[in-house]
Amino acid sequence: PRRLAINEVIFNNQTDDVMTQIQYLGRSLCGHDGIIHGGLLATIVDEAFARLAFAFLPGHSGFTANLNVDYRSPVPADIMVVLVISIDRVDGRKVFLKARMSSLDGKFTFLESTSLYIAPR
């Protein structure tokens, strides 16, 4: 109850190249009192990017070549967040993605992110 939810809720619609993840972030995940650690947020986004990117990569595997995270607002502890990830474009062994993490009600954008995944040769 004070950490990550064991079973996050994931909606995945690969025909539209979009994945939506709803996740609880508890108080034990704070860097500063009451604020979720930014490194953890980057890890959550990177893992979600991988989940969607692998479906579009040759061999369904790859690695993060680039991850950019723009933090827009601190994420308070003990809330549900919504992470929406989409495919920007696919170019051979490369998949370019983008993401937005917001509050459940959509009033706050916590971060925006882009990533490049590459399939091994």
Active site (annotated) includes residue 46: yes
Give the C-alpha separation, 78 to 2, whole Å. Answer: 7
Supply 52's token pair: 């969607």
Give the C-alpha separation, 99 to 9, whole Å. Answer: 17
Report the sign of the C-alpha dihedral through residues 27, 31, 32, 38, in that order.
negative
Query: Which entry of 46, 70, 91, 105 is annotated as an active-site residue?
Result: 46
Continuous H helices in 1-117: 38-53
Q: If we measure between CA atoms, which residue out of 61, 21, 64, 65 comes closest to residue 46?
A: 64
Do β-strands 63-71 and 35-36 pair in parallel, antiparallel, or remain unpaired?
unpaired
Please identify every residue annotated as catalytic. Answer: 46
